[in-house]
Chains A and B, each alone.
Chain A
Amino acid sequence: MVETSENVQKIRRDFPIFSRLENGKRLVYLDSAATSQRPVQVINAVRRFYEQMNSNVHRGLYEMSEEATQAYEDARSNIASFIGAKPEELVFTRNATEALNLVAYSWGRANVREGDVIVTTEMEHHSNFLPWKLLATEKNAKLEVVKITDEGLLDEDSLDEKLKLGPKIVAFTHASNVLGTINDAKGIAKRVKDAGAICVLDGAQSVPHMPVSVKEIGCDFMAFSGHKMLGPMGIGGLYGRYELLEAMPPFLTGGEMIKEVHIGEVNWNDVPYKFEAGTPNVEGAIGLSEAVNYLRSLGMDWVRSHEKELTAYALSLMVKESSVQVYGPLDVEKRGGVISFNVDGVHAHDVAQILDTEGIAIRSGHHCAMPVMDRYGIPAAARASFYIYNDKEDVEALIKGIEKVKRVFSVE
């Protein structure tokens, strides 16, 4: 215990944000599922880029531009290796949302025909639901949605049933941003491939929090966001299996993504540049690469076990409160460090606002996953989420904050 705490103290010193106060109190940041904080190493890497080599990439022949290009491509290699991919299989995007849309627009439009089946799940963030819904509408295809169980797991029977329909695409999340559920990505990917479909994984909530290798999982595409894993905002990635990326038409068009443009004929650039139209987010890539180094130095196994410990501790205290409803599986082997909850008779907004008076930052609302809210028949939920800089003290602050909510609203 003490060891973990000392570790966390050391980590916290790398995050300048923790020197600010929240409503005059120590900042207890429990909203990393929305966006993580960034360590000084990442901030400095971005700063170094602008101070020492700012120039556009892939175009200049002068020294500085070569350096910038090198740094950008080194970042790609480093981040790709972090997720078990080859550099040419990593397309830089703004975030997971853009990555998922890229797959739906490019692969989807080229391959989905009228009457085809597209499968997603009830557990998805809107960004892994709406692109598929739109694609289905545009192509007159069928959108099928895998159900979730009361416990908050993907319903195996429902999944089997959908796979039997012979879908073209199956898109699902690795870890839920509401229920915390960690899906067996490898097992599901295998079943999806056996069913002859393309497997699209939303890694936005898994890549930051546990070891993830696309090669090991065997998915065809995976989306993730840099800002949820200590990196800058506005940078994310799409992993795509090389043969698939090769065969896909471009998503956005313009500069950088071509080899030759003539009035009558256009030659697209090689993968992944074909999908990176326009000037890319170079500082973002460099910052994210530094974030990956930081996570590597901690070890993703440590990150996962640290969050597991905090989640188990928080759950053990929260389930004792009869007026607190916790959503998602209670077994920490099946879930990550995201805990959505409600206090009886109190709206999630009010929970969040009262916690804020104690310096505790959590999120409240539908978390861009309204189908999940519908599934549990709730308009909203409060959500606390943990990361490397949280410790047991933060969990205890959360529990004390919930006690205050109950006092203010006279909840028994």
Chain B
Amino acid sequence: MSDDLYRELILDHYRHPSNFGHLKAPTGKYRDSNSNCGDVIQMEVRVENGKIEDVMFTGVGCAVCIASASLLTENVKGKNVEKVLEMGEPDVLALLGLKSITPERAKCAMLPLKVLKMSLLQEQKQA
């Protein structure tokens, strides 16, 4: 079961994550960690007219967490903030190409989306 967690898609994005780094002028930024494993993700977003113009992330984590962040940032660029705020676990699993995930690993997979949503909410508050 967990053997197919480590397929090429996830390993590739773990080794060479997309959108890894910092934004020059983020309009929103948020950082959070998973209490039990110490995975840390920071998301930086630039939102213009309710649309995600750009997004980058930094952090340390397991393959599932980093791949999730990488695939998620690729996916949400250009999307409406409202649409992204509606995303949930099924969307993240679909991005990762997984049918299911154990509860412990779900925390790893979901951390990037949780942090991204917080960065968007934070930027909405400021705007």
Taken residue by residue from 204 to 221, chain A's Cβ proximity to chain B (1 for < 8 Å, 0 otherwise) reads as 000000000000000000
Q: A353-B105, A365-B36, A373-B38 are in contact. Are A347 and B62 (CB under 8 A)?
A: yes
Give bound CA distance, A412 to B75, whole Å.
32
Interface residues contributed by chain A, number (CB under 8 Å): 19
One digit per residue, 1 when the CB lies within 8 angstroms of any chain B CB and 0 when it does not, for chain A 365-388 equals 110001001000001100000000
Among B3-11, B45-53, B82-90, B117-125, which stretch is in contact with chain A? B3-11
Tell me, in angstroms, the Cα distance from A354 to B5 when the chains sit together. 9
6 further A-B contacts with Cβ under 8 Å, apart from A348-B37, A349-B65, are A347-B60, A348-B62, A349-B39, A349-B108, A350-B63, A354-B6
Q: Mask for B1-27, Cβ within 8 A of A = 1, else 0?
A: 111011000010000000000000000
Task: Give the total number of A-B pairs whose CB atoms are below 8 A apart.
Answer: 55
Measured between beta carbons, the chain A residues less than 8 angstroms from B108 are 349
Tell me if B40 counts as interface (CB < 8 A to partner A): yes
Tell whether, in the assembled complex, residue B61 and residue A357 are in contact, meaning their CB atoms are under 8 Å apart.
Answer: no
Q: Which residues from chain B sit less than 8 Å from chain A, CB to CB?
A: 1-3, 5-6, 11, 36-40, 60-65, 105, 108
A380 cross-chain contacts in B, Cβ below 8 A = 37-38
Minimum CB–CB distance from A333 to chain B (whole Å) comes to 31
CB distance from B9 to the nearest CB of A (A): 14
Report yes or no: A366 in contact with B3, Cβ–Cβ below 8 A: no
B60 close to A379 (CB less than 8 A): yes
**A49–B6 Cα gap in the complex (Å)?**
47
A365 to B37, Cβ gap below 8 A? yes
List, in ascending order, chain A residues with CB within 8 A of B63's CB. Answer: 346-347, 349-350, 409
**Complex: chain A residue closest to B107, CB-CB:** A349
Contact across chains for B39 and A379 when beta carbons are under 8 A apart: yes
Residue of B nearest to A370 (CB): B38
Interface residue A17 (Cβ < 8 Å from any Cβ of B): no
Point out the residues of chain A lying under 8 angstroms from B36, CB to CB.
365-366
* B contact residues around A370 at 8 Å (CB): 38
Knowing A365-B37, A366-B37, A379-B39, say if A353 contacts B61 (CB, 8 Å).
Answer: no
1/0 per residue, CB under 8 A from B, across A26-56: the answer is 0000000000000000000000000000000
